[in-house]
Amino acid sequence: MQVNWREITAARNTFAALYAACETEGFVLRQVSGPEDDVTCYSLNSINAPHFEDEIASAHCVTVVGGPHAAACPAEVAAYADYVVTGEGEHTLPRLLRAIEAGETRPIPGVATQDGICPPDHTVFLPAYPPFSQFKGYIEISRGCPFGCAYCQTPCIFGRRMRHRPVDEIARYAARFRDARFVTPNALAYGSDDGIHPRLDRVECLLRALDKNQIYFGTFPSEVRPEFVTDESLDLISTYCANRRLHFGAQSGSDRVLGLLRRGHTVADVENALDLCRDHGFTPVVDFIVGLPCEEDEDELATLALIREVTRRGRAHVHLFIPLPGTPMANLRPKALLSEMQRDLGRLALNGKISGSWGDPERRFYRNR
C-alpha cells in the first residue's frame, strides 16, 4: 500500500516526525503535491484547512487528515475526509494505516469518521519515537503546556502536563546538525516536573550535552515565558548558546486582560524580563496579540505603550487575534483596532521595529506550497 503525504509548508516539521514514526512500522510516506493512490495524508491548521477542503473531498483515494484543526473539529473534518486523526499522530497514524491495509472496519482509538469519534486510548511517550529520521526537522524537546491560555490550542491538543525527551536522545539527534534548534512551548521549562517551576539544573544538563553544536535556545521555535527570564537562566544561555536574542510572549500590556487570558504572568514580569535582557546583553523579541475581544480601549492603549517600550530595546512580533477552534475563545471575534494603534504599528513596521500581521491572519499562517 502506497502512503502519500501532501506537501504543505506549515506542516514540514510534522512530516519529519510522522515520517520517522511511520517508518518504524514499515510505512514510507511519499511527498506529493496533490492526492494520489492509495492513501494521502494531510496535516492542517485552522487557517489553511478551508483551502484544502475541496481537494480532500474530491480525492480519488483514501484521505487521512490530522493536525491542529482536525484535533479541534473532528466531526467537521470527517464530513469531507475518510479518516481524521484527533490528536497526537505518532502512534495513531501507523495504527490506522495498518487497519486500512488490512481492510478492517473497527473503530480506531484516536480516529474519527463519519460514523463517529473513537476516543484516544494513549498519550505519546516522547522517548518511544524519534524526532526525525531521513527528513530532518527541529527536535521537539518538550510537549504539553500547563498554563491553558484561553486563545491557545496547545493544551487542548497535547494536554497540560509537560513531557520531555531525554537529554541523551536530544544530543544524539542534534549531532546531525551544526546548529541545534528545538520545538517546545517554553524552552526554560525543559525538565520541569510541572512546567511551572523551572529546573535550571536540568536545562544546564541539556545544554552541556550539546557541546558539538552551536545552540539556539529561547529563540524561535523554542520561545520562553517572561517569568522564566531570570539572571540565572540568562547566565546559562549566555554561557552555552549562540543566540543573543531572546523570544518571549507578553501578549498584552494590561494585567486585567492577562488575567482574562489566563496567561499566568503580569506586565511587571514582562518589564522585568526586558530589564534583564538589557543587563545581560540580549535583544528581546516579544510577542503581542492585538484586537483581543476582551480588551477595552484603555487595555489596547496599555498594550501599545508596552509595544513602544519593547521597541526601544528590541523588537516586537504583533499579530491579530485569531479565534482558534477548540479554545475557550473560539467563538469570539477580533476587536477593531484603534486608529492610534494602527498608525503606530505601521510606523514601527516601516522602521523595522516590529513584524507580524495585524490585518490579514493568513499572511502569518497560510502557506499552500
> pLDDT, tens digit, for every residue of 93-122?
999 999 999 999 899 999 999 999 999 999
Tell me the mean pLDDT in the region 53-63. Answer: 98
Is residue 62's pLDDT more than 60? Answer: yes
Share of residues in the chain with pLDDT > 70 (%): 97
Query: Does 131 map to a domain?
Result: no
Q: Which pLDDT band holds residue 362 (cuts at 50, 70, 90)? A: low
Please give the DSSP secondary-structure letter assigned to residue 337.
P
Confidence of residue 22 (pLDDT cuts 50, 70, 90): very high
129 found inside a domain = no
User: Would you say residue 256 has pLDDT above 50?
Assistant: yes
Predicted TM-score of the model (pTM): 0.92
Are 190 and 66 contained in the same domain?
no
Residue 8 belongs to a domain = yes
Average pLDDT over residues 262-272: 98
pLDDT value at 369 more than 60: no
In-domain check, residue 134: no
Average pLDDT for 123-144: 95
Whole-number pLDDT of residue 368: 39
Would you say residue 364 has pLDDT above 80? no
Q: Is the pLDDT of residue 139 over 90?
A: yes
- pLDDT value, residue 360: 65
Identify whether residues 77 and 215 lie together within a single domain.
no
Asked whether residue 45 falls in the same domain as residue 82, the answer is: yes
Shared domain check, 146 and 105: no
- Domain contains 361: yes
**Secondary structure of residue 354 in the 3-state scheme:** strand
The pLDDT of residue 156 = 86
pLDDT of 168-227, one tens digit each? 999 999 999 999 999 999 999 999 999 999 999 999 999 999 999 999 999 988 999 999
* Residue 56 scores a pLDDT above 90: yes
Give the chain's mean pLDDT.
95
Residue 26 DSSP label: T
Query: DSSP class of residue 148?
Result: -
Q: Does 196 lie in the same domain as 314? A: yes
| Residues 245, 287 contacting (CB under 8 angstroms) | no
Are residues 222 and 335 part of one domain? yes
Task: Return the pLDDT at 365.
Answer: 45
- Residues 147 and 89 grouped into a single domain: no
> pLDDT tens-digit profile of 313-336?
999 999 999 999 999 999 999 999
- Grid cell in block for residue 226: 517572561
**pLDDT computed for residue 361 by the predictor:** 57
Same domain assignment for residues 93 and 227: no
DSSP of 206-242 = HHHHTTTSEE--SSTTS-B-GGG--HHHHHHHHHH-S
- Measured in degrees and rounded to the nearest 5, phi and psi for residue 123 equal -125, 135
Query: 161 near 185, Cβ under 8 Å?
Result: no
Asked if residue 367 has pLDDT above 70, the reply is no
pLDDT average, residue stretch 289-296: 97
Please indicate, yes or no, whether residues 55 and 181 belong to a single structural domain of this protein: no
With respect to residue 66, please indicate whether it lies within any of the assigned structural domains. yes
Cα separation, 352 vs 365, in Å, equals 21
Identify the CATH number of the domain in which residue 282 sits: 3.80.30.20
106 and 253 co-located in one domain? no
Count of the separate structural domains present in the chain: 2
Q: Is residue 125 part of a domain?
A: no
Total residue length of the chain: 369
Containing domain of residue 59, as a range?
3-118
Look-up: residue for cell 540565572? 232
Shared-domain flag, residues 187 and 143: yes
14 and 162 both lie in a single domain: no
The answer to the question of residue 123 being in a domain is no
- Do 21 and 129 form a contact (C-beta atoms < 8 A)? yes
Which has more pLDDT, 366 or 148?
A: 148
Residue 195 near residue 146 (C-beta atoms within 8 A): yes
